[in-house]
Amino acid sequence: MSINESTCSNCGGKSIVKGDIGLRTSRDLELIMVVRKDHGVEKKVPLQPKVCAKCGFVDLFVSEAENLKILHSDKPINADSRQRPILEYDF
């Protein structure tokens, strides 16, 4: 399923605010991230909003969900991690 960039998923209007819109924490101005932790590996992707100018609805999505997949080449953030091994069904 693809994300229609110009249509609001709440009201169906074609009034999505254009431009570079992002989410940041108010304290440290860091991006809000979707974080996946598994097998001692941590993967992060920025969370992005679509804002409707008509109804004010904010839709959240990640544009690079493929980056959350754990690969054989990924190293654990803690070298002493003793979790279960990465199996084929994890991909």
Partnered with residue 61 across adjacent β-strands are: 48
State mean pLDDT over 16-36: 87
Give, in order, the Cα–Cα distances in Å from 34 to each of 21, 61, 79.
Answer: 16, 9, 23
In 3D, which of 84, 88, 67 has the Cα closest to residue 76?
A: 84
- The dihedrals phi and psi of 51, each to the nearest 5 degrees, come to -115, 130
How far, in Å, CA of 52 to CA of 86, rounded? 41
Domain ranges of the chain: 1-79
81 pLDDT more than 80? no
How far, in Å, CA of 18 to CA of 28, rounded? 25
What percentage of the chain reaches a pLDDT higher than 90? 27
Partnered with residue 51 across adjacent β-strands are: 58
Instruction: Report pTM.
Output: 0.62
